[in-house]
Structure 1
Amino acid sequence: MEYPGGTREGGLPRVLSDPARLAALEASGMIGSAPEQVFDDLTRLAVSVTGAAISAITFVGETRTYWKSVPHLPYTGVENWQNGVGESFCYFAVGADGPFIVEDAAKDPRTAGHQAIGPWGVGAWAGFPIVTTDGHAIGTMCVIDAGPRQWKPQELETLAVLARAVGNEINLRISLSTAQRALSTAQSALAVSQDLARSLQDSLLPPVLRPVPGLDAAARYLPATGDVEVVGDFYDLFHTRGPWWTALMGDVCGKGTEAAKVTALARYTLRADAGDHLSPAEVLDRLNTAMLAQRAPRYLTAVQATFRATPAGAAGRLCLAGHPPALIRRAGGRVQQAGVPGSLLGIMPTIRLTDVRFRLAPGDLLFLYTDGACEARADPHSPLPHRPIFDEEALAQALADTHGLDAAATNTHIAEVLAGHHGGWASDDTALLSLRVPPNP
């Protein structure tokens, strides 16, 4: 018999050895699988419609044919539910890539003398290929009668429909399996991405603040609700020179890799220049120049405080670059803003920045934060009543309520107030940094 793809040794269709077809068969999961009712129902229906003695669903490999549904035979295990590929007619429909219809197997020149006629009692045979979505014939659905017979057109049409139903079931399973593998791969990639994001985020924040002689210092980072992603909020606290220390808080526009690049540029530029210039305005202006020279893809806001311990507490200078004002909580609980509004960094070559002097007495606390602390809002999808935005006035009141608390406890209280306001749904990342002069004994 001639096949569209040619014949291999032994007169079998060459397509049986096609790697793409064999891969499609492997992907179906049908090789060596046990009977299932969904397939047995279809073969029983084929027997009912055609009146044939036997109906079968098989999957055809390169050298073996694997039985999937042969209702008239008891299932006796995978080893027994298969045979050599040339020991049945099933490969005919696969090789023909279409229906194979035999009305008298003993006399039909294509099948006369075939070794399957006796063992299977084949008088007449009709089968259609089971085809995958990418066009590979991987098996056959057939009906067999013991004696010769003429197959009616409506019987063959029904058999073709049933073969397509088998193919649809297989293709659905392949698609589902592919989707599950893709989902698993995506979840693994997401987990790796999240781990990398966490590692990168951690590398952009000091793991532990250095202790400042004579002051109590603490910082806290509150991530936004949602997927883990590198963000542009950062803070730092480091020794500058002599008795001088520098506290930084910044917020880069956007998230992701581009924001991380700007965060790294800002942190290391500020650290490098702060030792040479005790004026925060001068240091921030130099950062602006560096960002423009490096063609930084994002702008940022920042606040820098350069200070030293004094016999009366602490004193220094503070500068705002497009950043929310710093807050000072006095020992008595009163809260006041500190800083003169200044220009964003990374946009224009000429900017306006102003140093403002500040003093902290025993019990006073300097509080730096990013805008997530003064723009907190409730989840818009929450069924709870609408709440107004948690603004600078609300933040100042929350800070006033921390009267008497140390730096770490102050940050914890602010974080709890913010969480209570937005109900556990943080719309933006938030960084908090507190510097407190311990009260007199």
Structure 2
Amino acid sequence: MPPFVTASPGISARPPDAGHLVGATWTEAPYPVLIVDRYGGLVEINEAARALLPGAASGDRLHEQVPSWLADAHQRVSGGQRGSSAGPLSGPIKGRHYEAHPTAAGDGDVVWWLVDDTDRRLAETALSDARTRTEILSDVSSTLLSTLNVSRCMEVAASLAAEHLADAAVLVAPRQGRRRPLAYANRGGPVSQVTRQVDVAGVPGLAEALQGFPPVPARWIDPVGLPDWVVPDGFAGPVGSVIVAPLPGHGVSAGALVLLRSSAEQCFTDGEEVFARLFAARAGTALSAARLYGEQANVTATLMRELLPPRLSSVHGVDYAGGYRAAKDHERVGGDFYDVHPGSDPSQDTLVVLGDVAGKGLDAAVLTGKIRNTLHALLPLTDDHQRVLNLLNGALLTSHHTRFATLVLASVRRRGTRARVRLTSAGHLPPLIVRADGKVEESATRGTLVGALPTVTANTVETTLAPGETCLLYTDGITEARGGPLGDELFGEHRLQRALSECAGLPAEAVVERVRMLASQWIGGGRHDDMAAVAVSVPRTGPLTVLNGTGARSSRRNT
């Protein structure tokens, strides 16, 4: 190898064939290549390097032509053991990102191969951002869909939008009359909700977004012209950029989302606008689901008020009490039902109806409602139980329902100290009469069920209740309740009658509560059918012995 000619300390003059030390192909490589001596002087550069560093030439100092990260890397590599390598390094050069790969050459020279990895880094960053945003959207969906309360969903959506997308967020809900519900959130701060009348036309693109039209690009919105109601209280600094994104719902708009960034922050990029729209789509779906659930809940509550058994009390000197338990404890209605229709005056009968529709749940409850409404329309005819049952039977046979029902009708009228009761069973369990002495009698009424045959055959029996006596109407959910020590034994009619014999003289409400308690204890945590019971009692009128505050006995009359 020809000797070096030293021109000055730290600078070496190289022979013309220095390139042969690293191979002739380096001059034609598509990557920028720099040959640098141990003192930091440029020995040679190829055409790709001249294009990257147009001012660089052989003999220049490296640190004068390249960024400091590459000059420092050369000092570390050339200062080490001869032929050693520090491995790949990277940094920016002229707005691009390069990996620098050193290769040791002879006499302490280092050949630096510069590989442009800008596109790879951008792709990795984009992939990482996409994964992060996918995770955020997944978490947002889970969080938003975990609540079906519209107000809570608005609050969470505004808070998440401020946390992940902007410095502040305003969620504008569909109009309620002339006012709109609004949810305001600053990043890291609490969420506030108000309902107020606002002019949405003052925000470019907001009126269109609320109608479900595509969003207006953020660059078209001048933040200076925003109305005051859009900016949340406590927002830091003037607004620098704005995004208005529609919240798509199930066929109708769920509102719009306004995202705000202060002038101190970077404006929204195109990628962030796309992400904001994806976020808004998830939020709109959740809000729409919550709103639909709320509407259905309101409809259900309205219907439930008509389907639930009524509260019973005393009517014309006769006490009435009822109890109901659906087959599933989380449901409030089912196939068992009861009603009490008081007469307009004491001279008219009070009609008591207790029934059991085949099936359980909402389908049975719907038919229950139809039966109750039909019987209500037939009240003027209740002097004739048979006629009422035939008319009800005809109405059910022409219905689209394929279910049937069993019924028991009781017409009650107070006469002096006693009450006359007319009882008619249509395929139902006969009522039980609890006498004052504890004796339990089963009424002799029998009949065919309603809604299955062209006509209903039933017989009506009459009985009289003396003071302290009770007539109990009940469904088979009580007698067929399975439980006991092994959980498979029926509660049974005999056990019910024995329990009723202990209820002689008790008020109607106490009798029903006793029956419900015993049936519940018998079932335990097991499954059961719908259970219903109605007690008709004539209150005692004789003197009752009570204890006064000092423990002395005194008498008073229960009227």
Aligned to 2:39: none
**1:336 — aligned with what?**
441
Q: Is the 8 A contact 1:365 1:436 kept in 2?
A: yes
Provide structure 1 residue ranges, at least 5 long, that are not aligned to the other structure.
1-101, 126-145
Q: Are 1:432 and 2:542 counterparts?
A: no
Count, aligned residues: 307
How many percent of aligned residue pairs carry the same amino acid? 30
Q: Which AA in structure 1 matches 2:374?
A: T
Q: Given that residues 512 and 535 in structure 2 are in contact (C-alpha distance below 8 angstroms), is that contact kept between their aligned partners in structure 1?
A: yes
CA distance in 2 between partners of 1:370 and 1:214 (Å): 25
Deviation per residue, 1:247-301 (Å, 9 max, x gap):
1111222345543432222112222323224122221121101112334443211
Q: Which moved more, 1:280-289 or 1:228-237?
A: 228-237
Match for residue 354 of structure 2?
249
**Alpha-carbon distance change, 278 to 211 in structure 1, aligned in 2, over 3 angstroms:** same
Match of 1:391 among 492, 495, 507: 492
Displacement after TM superposition at 1:190 (Å): 6.3
Summarize the alignment of residues 146-295 of structure 1 with structure 2, pairs less than 5 Å apart: 148-149=114-115, 171=134, 174-185=137-148, 196-205=299-308, 207-209=310-312, 211-228=314-331, 230-240=333-343, 242-295=347-400
The code of the aligned residue for 2:98 comes to: G
Whole-angstrom distance in 1 between the partners of 2:327 and 2:492: 17
Correspondence list, 1:354-373, <5 A: 354-373=459-478
For normalisation by structure 2, the TM-score amounts to: 0.47
Name the TM-score, length of structure 1 as normaliser: 0.59
Distance 1:257 1:342 in 2: 27
Structure 1 residues 223-261: Cα deviation after superposition (integer angstroms, max 9, x where no partner): 333433542322111134643111111122234554343
Distance in 1 (CA, whole Å) between partners of 2:487 and 2:524 is 11
Match of 2:482 in 1: 377
Distance 1:347 1:150, change over 3 A: same
Q: 1:200 is matched by which residue type in structure 2?
A: L
Distance across 2 between alignment mates of 1:343 and 1:174: 61
Give the secondary structure class of the aligned counterpart of 2:394.
helix
Q: Which stretches in structure 2 are left out of the alignment for 5+ residues?
A: 1-29, 34-46, 55-90, 101-111, 149-288, 543-559
| Number of the residue aligned with 2:86 | none
**One of 517, 520, 527 as aligned partner of 1:416:** 517
Q: C-alpha offsets along residues 336-369 of structure 1, whole Å, 9 cap, x if unaligned? A: 2224332221122123222122221221101112
Deviations 1:299-327 (A, max 9, x none): 21111011211235112321111222211
Greater Cα radius of gyration, structure 1 or 2:
2
Give the 3-state SS of the residue equivalent to 1:343 in structure 2: coil
**What is the Cα deviation at residue 434 of structure 1?**
0.7
Equivalent-residue separation in structure 2 for 1:194 and 1:271 (angstroms): 27
User: Could you tell me which amino acid in structure 2 is paired with residue 123 of structure 1?
Assistant: Y
Report matched runs for 1:36-115 at 5 Å: 107=48
Q: CA RMSD for the aligned pairs?
A: 4.0
Partners of 2:526 and 2:324 in 1: how far apart? 15
Change beyond 3 A, Cα 1:226–1:308: closer
Higher RCO (C-alpha 8 Å, min separation 6):
1
Residue 161 to residue 267, structure 1, CA distance change in 2 (3 Å): same
